[in-house]
Amino acid sequence: MHLNYHFFKFLCPALQSEISGGTVVACFSQNKEELIIEIKRRDGRPFYIRALLLPSNPCLSFPKDFKRSKKNNVDLFPEAIGKKITELRLLSFERAFYFILDEDQALLFKMHGSRSNILYFSEKENLPSNIFRKELKEDQTIKIQGLEKDLTLTWERFKELEGNASQFLPTLGKLPRAWLKEAGYLEAGLEERFSLMTELLAMMEVPFFSIFKKNDNYLLSLLPYQSAIASTSDPLEACNLYFQKAVVRKNFESVKNQLLRNLNERRKKTLNYIHKTRDKLESMEKEPPPSQTADVIMANLHQIPSGADKVDLFDFYTNSTREIILKRGLSPQKFAEQLYKKSKNKKIEFDQLRKNLAQKEMDLDEIAKEEETINYSEDFRSIKTLLKKENKFSTAKPQVQLPYKRFEVEGFEVWVGKSAKANDELLRRYTWKEDIWLHAKDVSGSHVIIKTQSGMTPTKQVLERAAALAAHYSKNKTASLAPVIYTPCKYVRKVKGSLPGAVMVDREKVILIKPEGPEEM
């Protein structure tokens, strides 16, 4: 709050006129750093003091009304309940004041920046009997009288201190010291320094309070500012205005900026996906479908010698002769059948990619609309829906800690186990028998799972990308090429009593691949 002794010189008389003779009827807290004190004034009306003792920004405010929560709150300072406030005193040259209560008891407000606290004294001359921030152990030895300072703000004392502003007036505060520095205090001679100090003190004797913003922080000062957001001559109103700006508004701005950062991150990922998918679709459109090769084979079966590995055939699609590599161990008819199936899968993949692309483009439009809503919002109510959307996975139930890292490859989800125990849990609880399991061959590493989809078989590119991840998350991470085994999950089983992550594998195949991490996806 950057308050100094001079601010409390105005605040305390204003506060005393409101609460003197009143009775403390409630002291409670609804969060760790906040204390609410309800006082019944002499005329019966309630008066509330809200002390928010955040180490980063302690402040006081005086709300006209305060609705106490029915749960998640605790009563504090029971000694003060029912006590009448007989007087309010400001400690000389100190950022602290206290209420004198019945039976010579006292409630001290020590507003010392990050070490601010509220202390209760059963007898004001003794040590505190109760404190709000109990972690401040040194406050247990405070005596009210020991806080007061006896300062004389004369030329003689100033000269004796050689113009040291911090020694002359220790409670000057950051903003007044900054004003002196900007006015050339450090370079000035002794008499000029005293003149500047006198000018500064004269300004702080005028009850006019300004709230302004500097480096994204809201500040309250007795010094005049041309660019003030709000100004008032009422110290109680100044505290309330500051609370609204420095706490409520700043919290809103922080949430708003975080939402915008999240949207920007979503936009980057969406644009990256759109760019890669468009390139992929363009590449697929340029490549002739495998069914064309199958058609050429079937049209020229009579020209293919038995057991041939490759053959030159006339391609009626291009009106030219081309070499076709056949698959060893398969008849030309069976090989053509495989090509037809591959072509069908490629069309399914193509359609799925186009569907994914259309959805991502819609997501991009939605991001732009949400960003516009946030940019024009001025309070939490206007972004309530977006906040619910942002927090929908964290507010209702605690998120389950998943045993895998999740990646996406051409519309397929690829999961990578986080540890040996996580590998076991991944295999036991999160896989289906037709999912594809991969693991670096003969070395320790993460289990990798390609989640299969109904009607879609992972392409060679998806398999290779998952294999590259399996190699990356293994002891073969730095190898130029690494062997990776793969098989459907139904052929992978855990043997009772085996070490975490250890499994038995049947019908595996091997692929040789260069290890590549997620940053290269």
pLDDT in tens, 14-36: 999 999 999 999 999 998 899 99
The two tokens of residue 439 are 């693991």
Query: 3-state class of 506 per DSSP?
Result: coil
Instruction: Supply φ then ψ for residue 512, to 5 degrees.
Output: -100, 125
How many angstroms separate the CA atoms of 463 and 479, rounded?
A: 19
Kindly tell me the burial class for residue 337, based on how many C-beta atoms sit within 10 Å of its own C-beta (0-12, 13-18, 19 or more).
middle
Backbone angles phi, psi at 117, to 5 degrees: -160, 165
Predicted local distance difference test score (pLDDT) of residue 398? 45
pLDDT band with cut points at 50, 70 and 90 for residue 385: confident
Does 470 have pLDDT greater than 60? yes
Residue type, 109: F
For 516, list phi and psi in degrees, rounded to 5: -140, 135
User: What is the reported pLDDT for 396?
Assistant: 41
CATH (residue range 5-147): 2.30.310.10
Asked if 103 contacts 47 with a C-beta cutoff of 8 angstroms, the reply is no
The stretch 267-278 carries a mean pLDDT of: 93
Segment holding 243, helix H or strand E? helix 235-243
Residue 44 contacts residue 86 (beta carbons within 8 Å): no
The tens digit of pLDDT for each residue in 343-352 reads 888 888 888 8
Q: Where are the domains of the chain?
A: 5-147, 155-249, 251-390, 404-520
What is the rounded average pLDDT of the residues 437-453?
A: 94
Average pLDDT over residues 72-90: 94
pLDDT at 397: 44
Two tokens at 302? 């009579």
Could you give the CA distance from residue 467 to residue 450 in angstroms, rounded to a whole number? 10
Examine the pLDDT at 519 and tell me if it is beyond 90: no
Q: How far apart are CA 385 and CA 379, in angstroms?
A: 12
In terms of pLDDT, which residue wins out, 13 or 328?
13
Neighbours of 315 (CB within 10 A): 18
The predicted-structure confidence for 331-340, as pLDDT tens digits, reads as follows: 999 999 999 9
> 90: pLDDT confidence band, cut at 50, 70 and 90?
very high
What average pLDDT does range 451-476 have in this prediction?
A: 90
Round to whole Å and give the CA distance between 235 and 18.
12
Q: Among 80-94, 125-139, 394-408, which stretch is predicted with the lowest mean pLDDT?
A: 394-408
Give the length of the chain.
Answer: 521
Alpha-carbon dihedral angle through residues 370, 374, 375, 376, given to the nearest 10 degrees? 110
| Model confidence at 399: pLDDT above 60 | no
Q: What gap in Å lies between CA 474 and CA 149, rounded to an integer?
A: 67
**Per-residue pLDDT tens digits for 228-263:** 999 999 999 999 999 999 998 888 888 889 889 989
**Rounded distance between C-alpha atoms, residue 53 and residue 32, angstroms:** 9
Residue linked to tokens 């799972």: 449
Q: Evaluate if residue 62 carries a pLDDT over 80.
A: yes
Which two structure tokens, joined as six digits, stand for 182? Answer: 């900007």
- What is the average per-residue pLDDT within 277-293? 91
Q: Is the pLDDT of residue 377 over 50?
A: yes
Look at phi and psi of residue 204 and say left if phi exceeds 0, alpha if psi is from -120 to 50, else beta. alpha
The residue behind tokens 């100190």 is 94
Reported as a single tens digit per residue, the pLDDT across 193-216 is 999 999 999 999 999 999 998 888
Which parts of 245-289 fold into alpha helices (H)? 250-286
Q: What is the pLDDT of residue 394?
A: 42
pLDDT score at 207? 92
Whether 380 has a pLDDT exceeding 90, the answer reads: no
DSSP code at position 153:
-
SS3 82: coil
Query: How many other CB atoms are found less than 10 A from the CB of residue 114?
Result: 11
Average pLDDT score over residue span 85-107: 94
